Structure 1
Amino acid sequence: MRATPSWSEQPRAVTWAGMLALAVAMGVGRFAFTPLLPMMLHDGVLTLAEGSWLATANYVGYLAGALACMALPWVAPRLYERWHPARLARAGLVATVLLTAAMALPLPGAWPLLRFAAGVASAFVLLNVAAWCMVRLTVLGRPSMGGLVFCGPGVGIALTGLAASAMVAAQWRASTGWVVCALLSVLLCAVVWPVVRGRAAQARAGAPHPHAPARAQGGGTVLARGVHALAYGLAGLGYIVTATFLPVIARAALPAGSPWPDLFWPMFGVGVTVGAALSTRANAAWDRRWLLCATYGMQALGIALGLWWPTPAGFALSSCLVGLPFTAITFYGLQEARRLWPQSADSFASLITAAYGLGQIMGPPMVAWLLARGGQAQGFAQGLALAAGALVAGAVMYAASAWRWPLVR
């Protein structure tokens, strides 16, 4: 009789651990700043322009972390043998907790460095947890559960958004908000720690290898990979204006004292979670480039709705439409990267994540410049319009790629 594997060796444990690890890295390390920014503005500890640059510091750190993950297997293969994905992910989680707590210190001069380091940590966790969980679940015979891991950012965004909404109602200071987010991260890491350890491929000896994926005719060429990297990078610019400034934009558009602005960010998080879960239902035979076209179009429509219909209903629908495809884009983008370059899947995944990071970096400074040039209302409107345009351009590139290099089986 075959022994029942321990909890940490079961596919659902791997899925939950990966999900909660991304909730910490992305929902807290990356995006807790979004609902806490209005609190920091209210406390008078920074200006909107300074908040834009703090966000940029985090996104530059995310780019640096992605580049480091890409280079590590090539530059230091022996170090990578010792510091495999599970160890790197655990180190990133520890760093995220400590850096989040440090943001509560009254040291504004250190905040850019702290946000930069948090960006590095979040990239390490995202890339290494995704790689570890995908391999682990494949070895355990449940690769289809991999998409559920990407519910994590939405879970973290919803939790931090709801916590921030409650803290605003209680008139707590932003420094307390950072401490609360750090404590929340510790609780989530307690579930992750017993599961994310060791090498992913050691989950079960003798497990069958997955079937080779379909490939595009010429789809592995340098040009096809370049198209994917550029189009994926445009998604970073496309979503980042909303993801950084949504509560601030809503506060400026709605009547003073409205309770809605603090709820749109948790709605975004719920949309992210639902979209990630739905992405796992996509048939493995479907061309991921057409799925990316659809998700880019949905985000562009969501951004446009916030511009055309600046009401509670309009912002709510906009939040959901921008959130639904958020991690589905990441999931499909990483799958496409593995299909295009299976021999160097982890490094190529890091490369396209770096391109995504470049897109993110462009967003906040662009908005800061537009705000200084045209004022808050016009600046945010122009920034959102440019973001939607970037998503439309990315969708066109994926459609062209699918037409030029159709899948062959």
Structure 2
Amino acid sequence: MALADTSRQPDRPARLILILSLAPTIGLGIGRFAYSLVLPDMRDTLAWSYSVAGFMNTVNAAGYLAGALAAARLTRRFGLPAAVHWSTIACILSLALSAISGNFFVLSFARLLVGIGAAVAFVAGAALAARIAQTHPARADFLLSLFYAGPGLGIVSSGLVAPFVLKAFGAGSWWIVWWAMTLLSTVLAVPLMTARFDSGTRLSETKPAQFPIRPILIYLIGYFLFGAGYIAYMTFMIAYVRDAGGGAVAQSAFWCLLGMSAFVTPWVWRGILAWNSGGLSTTIILGVNAIGASLPLFGHSAPMLTVSALVFGVSFFAIVGSTTAFVRFNSPPDAWPKGIAAMTIAFGIGQTLGPTVVGAITDRFGSLSYALNASAALLALGAIAAAFQRRLA
């Protein structure tokens, strides 16, 4: 599988990658994570248990897994830009669908659809961003990390909108928030749909390069545990803040701090992301992530929650970047789409199982602190697993 020459874009890689980052901004930052902001009102209005609330994210994660499984074939058949464009459109349509009905099955389908779209957009966008970043090898890791700041923009923008819409319109206004998210995503999609990605976009008809699975099995297990662990924190932390007495301002501030952390990720982790050292980079970053997830267990004061959001956020976005760097260091460019897809599949399986299991635990024991305990433990186990991964020959 050969990719076209990238030499025609050496003067604008950062701008192109930032535009590409709007795909995960919409699919992940808004499509997936804004659900956490709306969840408390949806749960109250629709009389959901924590298990049902978690199931909605399980459906979303199942869609993400399906999209990851199909991504390599879709990008090969239609090209990377087309895959990014159409999957982003699917994400926007799913947001509109979420606003139309409170029916359990309609909402489940909407969560499924946005999961599929987000995965395809992420895999195709990351592969294209990696090709563009490679035009400047000396700063390729920094350029690639710009792509992973995309979800942070979505988290910040939704955090500045959703809590105040809910406050303005009162209980039961969750569907208005989804319309606001649809409008926001449509505006953000304009640069993405109009930009031209002329190189590294079409895949040839030659046989695709293979990406080895067995040599990185322990690494995939670590990434699976990350997928299962982070989702509990990201799904239930707004409910935790609200239960601790935090109003719209506190919820917005927490969510925005989490998202803004993504913007400093390229600078904080630049050196570590450049290590070609097997799973060590991922171990360090995932260990910091586990610490951030565990901090609310020691108190829910404003300073503690602030530090938790910053520590979790600055490491959360870097973990995905570290896995892409691992693929780039350990496989040829022709294998990158399959390698990124393999990582995304492991991640997708973890986050498919995580929300429902953690929601059931919370229903059983009646406290969200158990969800955070499970989250921190899974993240710590993931860091330990990644530590055993060595460089590929």
Amino acid across the alignment from 1:175:
W
Equivalent runs, 1:128-147 vs 2, <5 Å: 128-139=124-135, 143=140, 144-147=142-145
- Alpha-carbon distance in 1 for matches of 2:237, 2:348: 19
- Alpha-carbon distance in 2 for matches of 1:119, 1:177: 19
- Alpha-carbon distance in 2 for matches of 1:61, 1:174: 22
- Tell whether 2:295 aligns with 1:297: no
Q: Structure 1's 103 and 390: CA in aligned 2 closer, same or farther, altered over 3 A?
A: same
Equivalent runs, 1:21-60 vs 2, <5 Å: 21-44=23-46, 46-60=48-62
**Residue in 1 that maps onto 2:88:** 93
How far off its partner does 1:287 sit? 2.5
1:175-215: per-residue Cα shift (whole Å, max 9, x none)?
1111111111111111112225444268xxxxxxxxxxxxx
- Alpha-carbon distance in 2 for matches of 1:107, 1:177: 13
**Residue in 2 that maps onto 1:115:** 111
**Residue in 1 that maps onto 2:234:** 243
- Alpha-carbon distance in 1 for matches of 2:252, 2:55: 22
Amino acid across the alignment from 1:232:
Y
How far off its partner does 1:338 sit? 2.9
**Residue in 1 that maps onto 2:374:** 386
How far off its partner does 1:137 sit? 3.0
Q: What TM-score, normalized by structure 2, do the two folds share? A: 0.87
**Residue in 2 that maps onto 1:192:** 192
Is this contact kept in 2: 1:165–1:263, CA < 8 A? no
- Number of residue-to-residue matches in the alignment: 373
Is this contact kept in 1: 2:265–2:317, CA < 8 A? yes
Matched residue SS, 1:321: helix
How far off its partner does 1:41 sit? 2.9
- Alpha-carbon distance in 1 for matches of 2:350, 2:76: 31
- Tell whether 2:356 aligns with 1:361: no
- Alpha-carbon distance in 1 for matches of 2:326, 2:8: 33
Is this contact kept in 2: 1:288–1:332, CA < 8 A? no
Cα-Cα RMSD: 2.6
Q: Structure 1's 87 and 221: CA in aligned 2 closer, same or farther, altered over 3 A?
A: closer
How far off its partner does 1:153 sit? 0.4
Q: In terms of mean alpha carbon deviation, does 155-164 or 170-179 score higher?
A: 170-179
- Alpha-carbon distance in 1 for matches of 2:330, 2:14: 28
Q: In terms of mean alpha carbon deviation, does 332-341 or 220-229 score higher?
A: 220-229
Is this contact kept in 1: 2:166–2:177, CA < 8 A? no
- Alpha-carbon distance in 2 for matches of 1:328, 1:113: 30
Is this contact kept in 2: 1:225–1:340, CA < 8 A? no
Q: Structure 1's 222 and 153: CA in aligned 2 closer, same or farther, altered over 3 A?
A: closer
1:331-388: per-residue Cα shift (whole Å, max 9, x none)?
111111233333522112111111111111121111221123211x2xx222222222
- Alpha-carbon distance in 1 for matches of 2:64, 2:234: 15
Structure 2, unaligned runs of 5 or more = 1-6, 203-210
Q: In terms of mean alpha carbon deviation, does 189-198 or 366-375 score higher?
A: 189-198
Is this contact kept in 2: 1:36–1:164, CA < 8 A? yes
- Alpha-carbon distance in 1 for matches of 2:352, 2:318: 21
Of the three residues 145, 149, 169, the one matched with 2:147 is 149
Amino acid across the alignment from 1:159:
S
**Residue in 2 that maps onto 1:63:** 65
1:144-201: per-residue Cα shift (whole Å, max 9, x none)?
4121111110111111011112213313511111111111111111111222544426
**Residue in 1 that maps onto 2:4:** none
Is this contact kept in 2: 1:60–1:357, CA < 8 A? yes
Matched residue SS, 1:110: helix
Amino acid across the alignment from 2:71:
C
**Residue in 1 that maps onto 2:179:** 179
How far off its partner does 1:48 sit? 3.5
Amino acid across the alignment from 2:84:
A
1:235-288: per-residue Cα shift (whole Å, max 9, x none)?
111211011111101222x23758423421221111233224533454634526
Q: Structure 1's 17 and 346: CA in aligned 2 closer, same or farther, altered over 3 A?
A: same
**Residue in 1 that maps onto 2:3:** none
Q: Structure 1's 42 and 369: CA in aligned 2 closer, same or farther, altered over 3 A?
A: closer
Amino acid across the alignment from 2:59:
A
Q: What TM-score, normalized by structure 1, do the two folds share? A: 0.84
Is this contact kept in 1: 2:162–2:177, CA < 8 A? yes
Q: In terms of mean alpha carbon deviation, does 303-312 or 37-46 score higher?
A: 37-46
**Residue in 1 that maps onto 2:321:** 331
Of the three residues 282, 292, 299, the one matched with 1:309 is 299
Matched residue SS, 1:324: helix
**Residue in 1 that maps onto 2:207:** none
Structure 1, unaligned runs of 5 or more = 73-78, 203-219
1:91-130: per-residue Cα shift (whole Å, max 9, x none)?
0111111110111112413110110011000001111011
Is this contact kept in 1: 2:53–2:359, CA < 8 A? no
How far off its partner does 1:51 sit? 1.8
Matched residue SS, 1:225: helix
1:208-239: per-residue Cα shift (whole Å, max 9, x none)?
xxxxxxxxxxxx97543111211111111121
Equivalent runs, 1:261-280 vs 2, <5 Å: 261-280=251-270
Q: Structure 1's 80 and 363: CA in aligned 2 closer, same or farther, altered over 3 A?
A: closer
Amino acid across the alignment from 1:163:
V
**Residue in 2 that maps onto 1:211:** none
Of the three residues 310, 325, 330, the one matched with 1:320 is 310
**Residue in 1 that maps onto 2:161:** 163
Q: In percent, how many aligned pairs have the same letter?
A: 25
Amino acid across the alignment from 2:326:
E
**Residue in 1 that maps onto 2:383:** 395
